[in-house]
Structure 1
Amino acid sequence: MNNIDEYYSALERLINNAPIIVALGTKISYDAVSLEAGKSKGSIKKSRPIFTDLIRKIDNLKTKRKDNDDINLKKLRFEILELKNQLDNSLAREICLIIELQELKKSKQLT
């Protein structure tokens, strides 16, 4: 296997979340690809022309993942707001029921 092919294989394993060397769920970065390829951190350098295409692919993946993370974060924030509203409504209903229960107990004691 060619030296650069090891890096591409490592990148594919990270994309598929099936790494052999680094931990599962490791974010894709130059260092993560280097380590997964069995090389040292920092072995992927922009100054080395052989890595130009690999660096472009890694950067594109990082951008796509960041965009997806931003979308997911917005969805989760919206869901949190909805859940807070539901909680507030539930608490308001409970307070109304407690007040109603107290009024019923008072009216029962009067009769």
Structure 2
Amino acid sequence: MTTIMSLFEALSRLENNAPIILKKGEYRINNDSVAIEAGAKKGFIRKEKREHHEILEAIKKCQLSWKPRPDITEWKSKCESLTKKNKRLQMQLNEAWAREVLLAQRLNELEKILAKRSNIIDFPKR
């Protein structure tokens, strides 16, 4: 059973951006995230329960002062742009490989044509 103490510990971890269960930076501090971080199910913290009154007040205070770190959103946007750039470069690389194969085939064809028209005979290697 989840105790009130574990709920406060979970709230403290979320506030310090050091969660154990949730992913860093991918949460908002609310009743459900605190409950999940404490090891309980979503919806565990309820307004109707008298013993949850203190944790609900602490969560409200924390919600007013806590904001997600701006560097996390900055890194997410940077990651998305780098992912797009990676996909674009991968497509360019695939196109370059296709050109390379096409040119190698064409070179092979031209060498065969040249060999037929040439009067030079290759001696077998020893």
RMSD of equivalent CA atoms: 3.6
In 2, distance between residues paired with 1:17 and 1:49? Answer: 21
If you compute each CA radius of gyration, which structure gives the higher value, 1 or 2?
Answer: 2
Give the structure with the larger helix fraction. Answer: 1
Counterpart of 1:89, as a letter, is Q
CA contact (8 A) 1:30 1:58 kept: no
In 2, distance between residues paired with 1:34 and 1:104? Answer: 67
Report the counterpart of residue 33 of structure 1 in structure 2.
34
Report the counterpart of residue 10 of structure 1 in structure 2.
10
CA contact (8 A) 1:29 1:58 kept: yes
Tell me: CA distance 1:94–1:8, structure 2 relative to 1, closer, same or farther (3 Å).
Answer: same
Residue 73 of structure 2 is aligned to residue 76 of structure 1: no
Q: Which runs of 5+ in 2 are unaligned?
A: 116-126
Task: Give the CA deviation at 1:76.
Answer: 1.9
> Between the two proteins, what is the percent identity of the paired residues?
14
Alignment TM-score, normalising by the size of structure 2: 0.55
Tell me: CA distance 1:107–1:37, structure 2 relative to 1, closer, same or farther (3 Å).
Answer: closer
Q: Which runs of 5+ in 1 are unaligned?
A: 19-23
Question: What secondary structure sits across from 2:63 in the alignment?
Answer: helix
Task: Give the CA deviation at 1:86.
Answer: 1.2
Residue 104 of structure 2 is aligned to residue 101 of structure 1: yes
Tell me: CA distance 1:81–1:31, structure 2 relative to 1, closer, same or farther (3 Å).
Answer: closer
Task: Give the CA deviation at 1:58.
Answer: 3.1
Report the counterpart of residue 85 of structure 1 in structure 2.
88
How many pairs does the alignment contain? 99
Deviations 1:48-74 (A, max 9, x none): 79955541313443x315x45532331
Task: Give the CA deviation at 1:5.
Answer: 7.1
Tell me: CA distance 1:49–1:7, structure 2 relative to 1, closer, same or farther (3 Å).
Answer: closer
In 1, distance between residues paired with 2:5 and 2:63? Answer: 14
Report the counterpart of residue 21 of structure 1 in structure 2.
none
Question: What secondary structure sits across from 2:45 in the alignment?
Answer: coil
